[in-house]
Chains A and B, each alone.
Chain A
Amino acid sequence: MSDLALAPAAAPAGAPGRWRIIRAVAAREWLEMRRDRRLVALFAFAALLMLAALGFGAAENARIGREREAAAQADRLLWTGQGAKNPHAAAHFGQYAFKPASPLALADPGVDPYVGTAVWLEAHKQNEAQFRPARDGGTAARLGGLSLAFILQVVAPLVVLLTGFASFSGERESGALRQVLSLGVRPQDLLAGKALALLGAAAALLAPAFLAAAAAVALFADPAKLSLADQYLRLLGLALGYGVYLTGFAFLALGVSALARDSRAALVALLAFWLANAFVAPRLSADVARALAPTPTAQEFRAAVAKDKAKTFGHDETHPAFIAFREETLKKYGVSRVEDLPVSFRGLTLRRDDEAGYAIYDSHFGALQGAFEKQDALRAAGGFLFPLLALQPLSMALAGTDSRAQFDFASAAEAHRRLIQNEVSDNIIHFQRDERYVAGPELWKRIAAFSYAAPGAGVALAGAREAIAGLLGWLALTLLFAVVAVRRLRPI
């Protein structure tokens, strides 16, 4: 008798007929959702929350932008206003590189509160970025702030689950499911119709958020400094990513609802999964990543750098490497005394020492970033089961607020430091004749101010391959689960 619902003969109208059924089911579901005042209120509340979060994000982004712009200008004035001094003394004074806020940080601040915002570009040394904003946030700030990403990652799935948990079980309890199946509606069509309605609801949740985000980007992003097209491409990627994330939740809700004994059991199971995905998995996966791919302590890292740097001579004229370089240089120029060199030997030593340092810093900072990326990949590996683990890195990457974006900024800052070092060393090589040599503001002005342009959306997407694969895996898994679950539906 149950074949009544499953036999192809029960759906004689063929494909166009099936589509009509699917549309009819979706329309009825949609109507019921719209009639449910609690659901309408829930969606309205979620929409308001998202708009409030975007408002906070936009205000914060604008403030950060103003602050860093002003700081960059003030630092430039300090650099150019140094007065006459030896170029190497100016290199020790250095410059600061300030990280510009990514426009889409207004939607997903990502790791920005947990990374430094400024790097001191000084002689001899590659510094880490300083001043993590979260340091000043206090204990309460560890419970997070209201961001669009937080609402979409944590609250929106809950809204989808609450909308969909009774889709099948509620109808089973009221007897409507039996009637519908007895009419010959295929369970798969029923699933498709309900999914269409639920996805419509999810789209209704996402659309205002992304339209508002697009408007905010247009208002706050400066087209002279970055490509708006790239920002919109990133925003489109974000919309697709969040769409896949919520679609998976819709299929999960439908599948569980089809399988569950009753609506209560469906709700409990779905809430348990939501809790695990939103709260437990991110923390546990962080613990696992730390255990499997440990990073050095700050002291270990600095000690390892110092150990390698000890092989270079710095300002130590008794260092064997210094003596060897002096011999090599004298030989190269065919003279027997430093004083007879046609160029400044001090400048040559500075350049040689810097070049030795560059390789050391590249190796250590590269290895550290490699360890971070290994940890990130380990976390994203569970993304097909707990999709937040995949969505978060994708969202941060597209918003330009992940640790790769930070590394890119830090690398650009280091490139600028090297430019400064090379310029001042060259100046010393060619112009310094004695210890009293000083250069003036014309040299400081000739050395350009740091400017940074984040890489395009393509680079961000390439870095988030595991995350994208995880999200697609989540979608495939939940779709399969829902299809298998509804195949068990019987009219009687």
Chain B
Amino acid sequence: MKSFLAGFFAEARILARARAVGLALVALAAAALFALHAGAGRVASQQAVVAAARAEEAQRLDGLKTSLARLESGATQEEPPPYRDPRNAVFMGAGPAARVAALAPQPLALVAVGQSDLLSAVIRVTSGSKDAFLFADEIENPALLSSGATDLAFIVVHVYPLVILALAFNLLAGEREQGTLVMTLAAARRPGAALAGKLAARLVAPIAIMLLATALGIGLFAGWDALASASFLRLVAVILVYGLFWAALAAAVDGLGQSSAFNALTLIGAWVALALLAPAGINSLAAFVYPAPSRIDMTLAARAAATDADKSRDAMLARYVEEHAGQKPAGAREGTLRRLATQEAAFERVEGVIAAHDAALSRQRALVDRLSFLSPTLLAYGALADVAGAGEARYRDFLDRLSAFHLDWRAFFLTRAKAGQAMTAADYDALPRFAETPAPESAVGSALLGMALPTLLLAFLAWRGFRRVARPEPRGAKRPRPR
């Protein structure tokens, strides 16, 4: 332990004097704080969007109730068209009375953008088929969307490993090239422990700085309460294990006994392969093997349903006119029934297409999930999005609850519509609400395991490499020569 501590503090003193190291660590902390600050701004914007949607909903429903009261009291004499009549359940449920289903940002939402910039946090649920409301997008410059955001997840998965690699890539190689390795080994009572202490000093600095900056940024921008949450512990675990993976990789490469230049190039190559190419390759491969079916199919199904319902309605009307010569079906009532028939027909078909689409996407994502164990970056990125409540698990949960709410919403309006009942003020007060349940706990266990296993393997390789350097030589053998 003494040798370990001696090595640790000796290396820490060297690092403290190296200006470039200090600069890199300060830059890392500043980048993390900046990313969290930007994240807090993004969360505030999302909250504003949700609040504005709720305000708009309240205003819209108040307007309908006022119109209804005027119609019921006789203050409005003129009969409104069905699509503007607050008593008409078919038309009101399909738009004007729509409720907002919102996905409020989680306490650690500032950590990662995840899917939150693509999937709207606010959906106006109607009694129509899902194609009419589920795919509304938030406005954003597509070029900015494609660049990605400056979030903590980006700093953690791309920048943080580089700082770790920069500090850890040449402990042995650097000492060997400077000619100090022999002295270090000779001076320590337990050379292996001394080298481990020196390595630990190099690794503790970036990992601790990253964790401290994260804690500070979250405390400052999301509130200190957020630090006491289980999600924060998960975040710390992901950052720690991901950092240890890169540290173990650097130590394993250093333990091969090659030059600093070899280590640097090998590690840069590994970073490019694992952090850039593997995720891109996995995404492309999954999209190639299981291409996402076109959403257009859903729209075409809804349109075909509308055409068929129209034709069937026309045929029915023709029969009616034939059987009731001289009578004409009421125009407004016919419009309402036609709309109801269209909605009913489109709903079933669109649900079928969406289910098939989701099944195809699930196959694609399952392949990505399996292959993501080849890239700790992919694992860490997904885990950070989950911790932020902007990952796939939360959106899946949201969409499942939304589907259940959609059924309730349809049942509420369509039972009244089919019974020919007019909407009343009491009905407006009893409109179903989307229940905002707490988000499911993010599961980062498999990602942690997926990063920890290669970390342990690399740590073992590093240990063997360092032990080879540090163990006392057999009599007559030579220590590794400085290169």
Contact = CB atoms under 8 A, between A and B. Distances in A.
A146 B283 contact: yes
Given A83-B311, A287-B38, A134 B141 contact: no
A313 B89 CA distance: 24
Interface stretch (B223-231, B299-307, B422-430, B454-462): B299-307
A130 B135 contact: yes
Nearest to B149: A283
B303 A158 contact: no
Contact of B139 (A134, A162, A301): A301
B143 A393 contact: yes
A375 B144 CA distance: 9
A60 B297 CA distance: 17
Interface stretch (A107-115, A176-184, A235-243, A411-419): A107-115
Interface in A243-274: 263-264, 267-268, 271
Interface in B35-75: 38, 45, 48-49, 52-53, 56
A282 interface: yes
Given A139-B382, A140-B279, A143-B279, A116 B145 contact: no
B307 A78 contact: yes
Contacts of A286: 143-144, 147-150
Contact of B382 (A96, A140, A285, A368): A140
Contacts of A134: 118, 145
User: Most chain-B Cβ atoms within 10 A of its Cβ — which of A53, A143, A298?
Assistant: A143
A284 interface: yes
Interface in A285-321: 285-287, 289-290, 295-301, 303, 315, 318
A11 B48 CA distance: 70
Nearest to A265: B20
A114 B56 CA distance: 27
Q: Is the contact region of chain B dominated by helix, strand, or loop, or is it mixed?
A: helix
Nearest to B84: A316
B141 A375 contact: yes
Nearest to B78: A318
Interface residues of A, number: 94
A118 B295 CA distance: 10
Contacts of B148: 142, 282-283, 286
B67 to A, nearest CB: 13
Contacts of A406: 142
Contacts of A147: 284
Interface stretch (B5-13, B261-269, B465-473): B261-269
B214 interface: no
User: Most chain-B Cβ atoms within 10 A of its Cβ — which of A135, A147, A392, A402?
Assistant: A135
27 contacts: A56-B285, A67-B294, A71-B297, A82-B307, A82-B310, A110-B146, A111-B145, A130-B135, A130-B295, A134-B145, A135-B118, A138-B361, A139-B114, A142-B113, A145-B287, A146-B277, A271-B268, A282-B148, A283-B147, A283-B149, A287-B149, A287-B150, A298-B138, A299-B49, A301-B139, A403-B141, A403-B142
Interface of A: 38, 49, 52-53, 56, 59-60, 63, 67-68, 71, 74-75, 78, 81-85, 93, 96, 98, 110-111, 113-118, 120, 128, 130-147, 150, 154-155, 158, 162, 263-264, 267-268, 271, 275, 279-280, 282-287, 289-290, 295-301, 303, 315, 318, 368, 371-372, 375-376, 379, 392-393, 396, 402-403, 406, 435
